[in-house]
């Protein structure tokens, strides 16, 4: 009897120590949807960049600069004496407007009004955030942003639809270091 109990306990121990097996999914999906989305986005980017390159090619009056961040720009007003550009935490006051690539106004600078922004601590579309970092106080720069650097797939849910590249004319009026007062206003 003891031998049967010992064998039963040994059998239970042997089978209860089995590690759990991974469950397999009922259906397996391929990466085709992701691959299709990537390919669709590549086509959109290529089309937008071709539009921007046509604008640049047809405008021989300005010197366009290609940013390593994926947008193009030219200076309307350039400061050649100052070296100060906004850094992380600086508070900048700027004015800007937004247009489609064919020059239709989306938002005028009067509609947006001067804007105060704490560098990299508040929300701002990525192209404009990166563009402000290259500007100096008093400069006016016109940026050509592909949609992925502007409002992307979702737009702004008001006047800018999905995948709309934009032209933005930006004037940087003031750069100041972040103060306690500004810090308290942002919180």
- Reported as a single tens digit per residue, the pLDDT across 132-169 is 999 999 999 999 999 999 999 888 888 999 999 999 99
Q: Write down the pLDDT at residue 7.
A: 73
Q: Positive or negative CA dihedral for 132, 138, 139, 143?
A: positive
pLDDT of 182 reads 47
Ordered domains of the chain (ranges, CATH): 36-186 (3.10.50.40)
Q: How many CB atoms within 10 Å of residue 62?
A: 12
pTM: 0.77
19-23, 79-83, 105-109, 139-143: range with lowest mean pLDDT: 19-23
In this prediction, residue 126 has a pLDDT band, given cuts at 50, 70 and 90, of: very high
Q: Please, which pLDDT band fits residue 114 given cuts at 50, 70 and 90?
A: confident
Nearest Cα to 164, choosing from 18, 68, 22, 47?
A: 47
Sorting pLDDT into bands at 50, 70 and 90, what band is 51? very high
pLDDT for the residue numbered 116: 92
Give, rounded to a whole angstrom, the gap between the first and last alpha carbons of the chain. 75
Residue labelled with tokens 């309307």: 76
More confident residue, 15 or 183: 15
């Amino acid at each position: 009897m003891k031998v049967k109990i010992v064998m039963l306990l040994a059998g239970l121990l042997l089978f209860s120590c089995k590690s759990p097996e991974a469950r397999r999914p009922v259906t397996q999906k391929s990466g085709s949807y992701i691959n299709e989305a990537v390919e669709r986005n590549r086509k959109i980017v290529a089309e937008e960049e071709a539009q921007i390159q046509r604008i640049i090619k047809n405008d021989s009056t300005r010197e366009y600069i290609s940013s390593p961040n994926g947008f193009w720009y030219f200076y309307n007003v350039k400061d050649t004496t100052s070296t100060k550009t906004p850094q992380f935490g600086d508070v900048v006051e700027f004015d800007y407007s937004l247009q489609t690539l064919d020059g239709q106004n989306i938002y005028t600078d009067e509609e947006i009004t001067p804007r105060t922004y704490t560098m990299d601590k508040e929300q701002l579309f990525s192209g404009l955030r990166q563009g402000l970092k290259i500007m100096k106080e008093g400069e006016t720069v016109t940026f050509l942003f592909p949609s992925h650097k502007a409002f992307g797939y979702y737009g702004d849910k008001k006047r800018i639809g999905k995948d709309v590249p934009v032209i933005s004319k930006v004037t940087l009026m003031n750069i100041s270091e972040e103060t306690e007062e500004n810090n308290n206003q942002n919180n």
